[in-house]
Amino acid sequence: MHRSCPGAFTGAPATRGFAHKQTAQFLVGACSLFGGASTCAFADEAKLPPVTVSARHSRDDAPLSTPGDTGSRLNLSSLDTPASVESVTAAQIEARGDQTVNDAVTRATGFTSTATPGNGGTALAVRGFAGQESVMTLYDGTRLYPGAGTMTFPFDTWQVERIDVLRGPASVLYGEGAIGGVVNVIPRQPQRESATTLQAGFGTQAQKRFALDTTGALGPMLSYRFYVSDNRSNGWVERGDSHTTSVGGAVKLDVSPRLSFTLSYDYARQMPATYFGVPLNGGALDTALRDRNYNVGNALIAYFDQSTRLTGVYRAGDGITIRDQLYYLNTHRHWRNSESYEMDPSTRLVTRSDYIEILQHEQQAGNRLDATIERSLAGHANRFVIGVEANRISFRRDSNTPFGGSSVVSADGFDPGVFASPDPTVPEFRTLTHQVALFAEDRFDITSRLSAVGGLRYDYLDYSRRQLASGTAFGKAFSNVGWRLGLVYQVGPSASVYGQYTRGADSVGSLVTLSQSQTQFELATGEQWEAGFKQELPEGRGFWTLAVYQIVKKHLLTSDPLHPGVTQQVGQQSSRGVELSGALTLGYGVSVEANAALLRARYDRFDENVGGMAVSRSGNVPNNIAQQTANVWLTCSPIRDVVLGAGLRYVGRRYSDNANTAPMPSYTVFDASVSWRATRHIDLALYLRNLGNRAYAVTSESPTEWLLGPSRSAQVVATMKF
């Protein structure tokens, strides 16, 4: 296990500022993929040199002053970026025992889970916005386009080096979407130094875990990385079996000190629990139903994902670098379930409906090329990046729409039966989306303390869809310009204050699966004002950050008050809030990490069609948005080679309807861990989840149905490193 306490920092951060030396990189080169043609690939596997010339500490030691490329393509540290950027490292993930990306990310500031089987079990909410379109997922810096609001990869933390999160609109970096934030899952890379890690775990609910990670050299020019992870459980609800497998790796070719290529491949197979929650009893949770699974007996959920990437970097000369990434993503998903449940409190009978079978097939092929140059302009240090990105996304859905079928069972005990729908499963529709973007960013040192950071991105998307049964076809072209301008003032060697303004865009639905009615509208637009303060404490004792912001999203779809059946694009939604995060080493082997987020999220203008009438929801809180969140993780080492950890997650009250008549209560979940270095190469750990055995709703499928969080569990994990 990781021996140092999370939040404990060693060594003072180095003085920042890049006016002393120009370690520039300019990316030129040639790769294009649009509709199938492609040429050479140079990619960003090796990172750009840091903006500062002084030596840096690791991300665990100095999280704010370590360069990263999620909050900016300029490879700036958090202290140099006018935005809220945070990292969850592999060491933190290991110390807390988080085995899914969703679990790890929801310990970051302001993030909460809105995961359901329908969205792939990965959806998140932050800064008042929720869903796969509003909170974007990247893998190794590459955007994954969700189809029908669904994303199923990445999910496993075993291959993760770190997870970077950016809070706030990010259209200037990654295109339309991400009005709430971005999650970038960064996998481990090949290393020339040999290292192997084996892990085995067993726990309650018949948990079984096996994992392997190995890396090393394959001669003077080649290095490799290989990993595999397998997790099984009987689950905490009836018929809650799950089985997930991840396998993959990379091979890196160092042609010369200037040129390298990396070929990476990941395969993931998920068979998650076929669980869609429990019906409410008179609008409240009946804890007697906590372990019930109301799905049919032969229910099925299966996800298969593959990611292939050719990446590299070429340093063409002093201050010139060429980067490119060529990638192909392939996913197949299958659902066959009864997904909706409603209980009659007087009879305790549950009506099951929405007998849904859906198959999704999605392929995304793309290429990203950018160029970076660092040069003085009129005696002022300057770093500039310019690039192009192109994607081709094809999507097909087969289904049994309109999803007929129903059954009635007892709430307290029943034969689950089998899936039976009068509607056959047939090919439904196929879509094709072409996307191309041009982007640029710049950082200019106005003075030795004050710098300006700006960015601009233009996106063009061409979308077409064909209904396979009728042969009808339609399409739409979208375009958007996103931009950001911010100022960063260096208060001291390890502290900065910043302000920024950002403009972005969001789709009115899943962009690669829009319906014909949705193509009548343009992209929704958003803007954000943000200011904050960041500081690393002296002698590596910790750090703290403060951010305040306001986001306004316009052009939401809303019903016409005079004609409820007519949809208008005149709605507006906003959020404003304050976020605080930090870590502190207290001495005597004790350290603490904590964060809290308070926000006010509202529909400013929104009308909903209810029974043929337009009902105003203005002033209400959007679905599944928690306006208060907090996380704490405390670590101590009472004796040598033993580390104790304890933490809590707090999520405030949310609503499961736009009318705000169906509140989901707030909840606090306590976790703990104990690790012991048994020998030089072997660590033993005990992970305890939901110590208080709290029954709580993670999210809602409808105002009458909640998806509950896991009950109390324990797992023992043995890790061998050599």
What is the average pLDDT value for the chain, to the nearest integer? 89
Cα atoms in the 13 Å half-sphere on the side-chain side of 131: 17
Q: CA 464 → CA 403, 446, 516, distances in Å? A: 25, 46, 10
Helix (H) or strand (E) holding 202: strand 195-203
Contacts of 611 (CB under 8 A, 6+ apart): none
Residue closest to 105 by CA, chosen among 44, 64, 160, 57: 160
**Residue 31: per-residue pLDDT:** 36
Asked whether the predicted pLDDT for residue 166 surpasses 80, the reply is yes
* Torsion angle in degrees (nearest 10) through CA of 409, 410, 414, 419: 20
Confidence class of residue 508 from pLDDT cuts 50, 70 and 90? confident
* Torsion angle in degrees (nearest 10) through CA of 167, 172, 177, 180: 20
* Residue 118, SS3 per DSSP: helix
- Cα separation, 111 vs 96, whole angstroms: 17
Looking at residue 511, what DSSP letter applies? Answer: G
pLDDT digits (tens, 9 = 90+) for 54-99: 334 456 678 899 998 899 999 899 999 999 999 999 999 999 999 9
Identify whether the C-beta of residue 222 lies closer than 8 Å to the C-beta of residue 189.
Answer: no
Side chain identity, residue 18: F
The stretch 615-634 carries a mean pLDDT of 95
Residue closest to 384 by CA, chosen among 83, 171, 76: 76
Q: How far is CA 306 from the centre of its chain?
A: 18
Identify whether the C-beta of residue 685 lies closer than 8 Å to the C-beta of residue 673.
Answer: yes
Q: What is the dihedral sign for C-alpha 467, 470, 471, 474?
A: negative
pLDDT digits (tens, 9 = 90+) for 634-675: 999 999 999 999 999 999 999 999 999 999 999 999 999 999
Contacts of 413 (CB under 8 A, 6+ apart): none
Q: How many CB atoms lie within 10 A of CB 586?
A: 16
pLDDT digits (tens, 9 = 90+) for 661-718: 999 999 999 999 999 999 999 999 999 999 999 999 999 978 999 999 999 999 999 9
Asked whether the predicted pLDDT for residue 501 surpasses 60, the reply is yes
Q: Could you check whether the bond before residue 427 is cis, i.e. omega within 30 degrees of 0?
A: no
**Residue 58: per-residue pLDDT:** 59
Identify whether the C-beta of residue 313 lies closer than 8 Å to the C-beta of residue 321.
Answer: yes
pLDDT digits (tens, 9 = 90+) for 19-60: 333 333 322 333 333 333 333 333 333 333 343 333 344 566
Helix (H) or strand (E) holding 172: helix 171-174
Q: How far is CA 437 from the centre of its chain?
A: 22
pLDDT digits (tens, 9 = 90+) for 331-363: 999 999 999 999 999 999 999 999 999 999 999
Asked whether the predicted pLDDT for residue 410 surpasses 90, the reply is yes
Question: Model pTM?
Answer: 0.89
Tokens 């840096």 identify what position?
A: 56
List the end-to-end C-alpha distance of the chain, in Å, as a whole number: 12
pLDDT digits (tens, 9 = 90+) for 247-299: 999 999 999 999 999 999 999 999 999 999 999 998 899 999 999 999 999 99
Q: CA 633 → CA 93, 98, 355, 537, distances in Å? A: 12, 13, 42, 19
Q: How many CB atoms lie within 10 A of CB 453?
A: 24
- Cα separation, 197 vs 530, whole angstroms: 42
